[in-house]
Chain A
Amino acid sequence: DAKTTQPPSMDCAEGRAANLPCNHSTISGNEYVYWYRQIHSQGPQYIIHGLKNNETNEMASLIITEDRKSSTLILPHATLRDTAVYYCIARSNDYKLSFGAGTTVTVRA
């Protein structure tokens, strides 16, 4: 799987959009970009994934650059419950998910 790079931490204000960047400059054509989050002492929660098109669901939006070397996860209206560690993962066809260090997001009131 391609290596991903994320900032170690970021703060955002409650009610505002949170934009979480991820760099995956060595991603290959068949690797999907997945986003998960982990709230303290719980199992990771699936957020969204995409290959090359932008995706949106009830939780978030995923914007993937045209060259696929980076992506941004957007939480449209952050709440205190969105405080968590967010993981960006490039997954290939062997179906394994390898987690990096992630971004610790703290939503402040």
Chain B
Amino acid sequence: GAVVSQHPSRVICKSGTSVKIECRSLDFQATTMFWYRQFPKQSLMLMATSNEGSKATYEQGVEKDKFLINHASLTLSTLTVTSAHPEDSSFYICSAGTGAADGYTFGSGTRLTVV
């Protein structure tokens, strides 16, 4: 089945630094990828939709200059959390799909801790 690899699985960074998270579709081409954030004991919140070769579409309230998304190829999307602060500490999850009416495959998530 379709596999999405997300890296790193855990990262600790200092306040003010930037962190890049990668999301790769390993055995299929993903025309669309999604980025979610999940705080403890809460549900997943959609942050943005990225389409290969075009600008990402951000959900209301998500700062596009803080959460930079690049979807440069059909198998890779990256999320960069710029100038991270402790309140950005969260579980970040990506998902990928071909755009057809089938299920999207999710990555295993990245636990970001900003100290």
Q: Which residues of A contact B (CB under 8 A)?
A: 32, 34, 36, 38, 41-46, 49, 87, 95-102
Interface of A is mostly: loop
- Of all chain A residues, the one with the shortest Cβ separation from B4 is A43
List residues of B (84-115) whose CB comes within 8 Å of A's CBs. 91, 93, 95, 97, 99, 101-109, 111
Which residues of B have CB within 8 Å of A44? 44, 93, 95, 106
Among A32, A34, A87, A96: residue with most chain B CB under 10 A = A96
Q: How many A-B residue pairs have CB under 8 A?
A: 52
Known: A49-B103, A97-B104. A43 touches B93 (CB 8 A): yes
17 A-B pairs (CB sep. < 8 Å): A41-B109, A42-B108, A42-B109, A43-B6, A43-B107, A43-B108, A44-B44, A44-B95, A46-B105, A49-B103, A95-B104, A97-B46, A97-B95, A98-B46, A99-B36, A100-B43, A102-B43
Question: Which 4 A-B pairs give the minimum distances between C-beta atoms?
Answer: A46-B103, A43-B106, A99-B44, A99-B43
Which residues of A have CB within 8 Å of B106? 36, 43-46
B49 at the interface (CB under 8 A from A): yes
